[in-house]
Amino acid sequence: MAQAIWKGVIKIGSVRLPVKFYSAVHDESVHFRLLHKTDHAPVKQKLVSSATGDELSAGDIRKAYPVTPRQMVILEDEELDKLEPKSSRDIEIKKFVDPDTIDHRLYERAYFLGPDGDSGDYFAAAEALRKKGKEGVARWVMRNREYAGALRYEDGYLMLITLRYAEEVIDANALEAPSGRALNPREVQMAGQLIEALESEFDPTQYHDEYRARVLELIKTKQRGGKVKVKAFRPKKTDDQSLDRVLAASLARAKKAS
């Protein structure tokens, strides 16, 4: 079995369920190093004081809380250590909410939960969550950090997706949308038809990262001393006057394809 990254106990009131955490996400990006152009030596970061320009070592650096743009309060490491959450194994479910009540953008990273010990209760909890059609909002402390998460039913199992703080997400309703002259009803209608013509079910399995393999291929080619052809792509843009015509042409093409 895969290696669990953490163990905890889900608590719904007085009902307890011990679980193991497994990372449901694996990242496969190609990582580059930053190098100095002339000698290809790796680049390091150095921290300097903006007042003196002197390089600072870890011991010279403090953390500060900005009270106003012009005023800060310096906090010592010992003070910050005392603020750290108490370590605990409890994953407390605060509330069960209807699905779709949590903003998409709050979801951060998914973990599978597996049974820790007896699996009877675990699968009973998963089944109960499915039947009730709810999503649990959980709080817990993992590795000195406080987390909020959504406990969800996932194909027979329990999944916990960590949530961002609401403050980190900018609300689209707080922004003003681009404005201009009223849209042309004929264009609205054609755009609607075009979207309908391109409509389908969401099938995540049909998308693959093809780029990564090709980046690695590029690296191999260059390693062998091969040359790479550089060609650029210049995208077009549709101007306001031709929008009507371009929409009509798009529709005709979409209809032919379907």
26 binds another protein, rule: CB under 8 A: yes
What residue type is assigned to position 13 of the chain? G
Q: At closest approach, how far in Å is the CB of 94 from another protein?
A: 6
Among 91, 129, 138, 142, binds another protein (CB under 8 A): 129
The count of other CB atoms within 10 Å of the CB of residue 170 is 9
Q: If binding is defined by CB under 8 A, does position 89 make contact with another protein? A: no
5 binds another protein (CB under 8 A): no
Of these, 65, 88, 90, 117, which contacts another protein (CB under 8 A)? 65
Q: Which of 111, 117, 121, 158 is nearest to 136 (CA)?
A: 158
Q: Which of 6, 9, 89, 107 binds another protein (CB under 8 A)?
A: 107
The alpha carbon dihedral of 106, 111, 116, 118 has a sign of positive
* Alpha-carbon span 253 to 250, nearest angstrom: 5
* 233 part of the interface to another protein, by CB under 8 A: yes
79 contacts another protein (rule: CB under 8 A): yes
Among 77, 78, 81, 155, binds another protein (CB under 8 A): 155
Please pick, from the candidates 143, 237, 256, 258, the single residue that binds another protein as defined by CB under 8 A.
237
User: Pick from 81, 230, 256, 258: which binds another protein (CB under 8 A)?
Assistant: 230
Task: Specify the residue, 7 or 36, whose C-beta has the smaller distance to another protein.
Answer: 36
At 223, is the secondary structure helix, strand, or coil?
helix
Q: Tell me which of 5, 7, 88, 95 binds another protein, using CB under 8 A.
A: 95
Site for another protein in 169-198 (CB under 8 A): 169-170, 172-181, 183, 187-188, 191-192, 194-196, 198
10 burial via Cβ count (<10 Å: 0-12, 13-18, 19+): buried
Considering the rule CB under 8 A, would residue 134 count as an interface residue with another protein?
yes
Q: 112 by DSSP, 3-state: which? A: strand
19 binds another protein (CB under 8 A): no
- CA angle centred on 209, ends 208 and 215, rounded to 5°: 150
Applying CB under 8 A, the site for another protein has a residue count of: 166
Burial of 102 (0-12, 13-18, 19+ CB in 10 A): middle
Question: With the CA atoms of 131, 135, 139 and 141 taken in that order, what torsion angle do they form, in degrees rounded to the nearest 10?
Answer: 80
Query: Does residue 87 bind another protein (CB under 8 A)?
Result: no
In the set 142, 149, 161, 162, which binds another protein (CB under 8 A)? 161
Radius of gyration of the CA atoms of the chain, in A: 27
Nearer to another protein among residue 7 and residue 198 (C-beta): 198
Instruction: Name the one residue in this structure whose structure tokens are 């009223």.
Output: 182
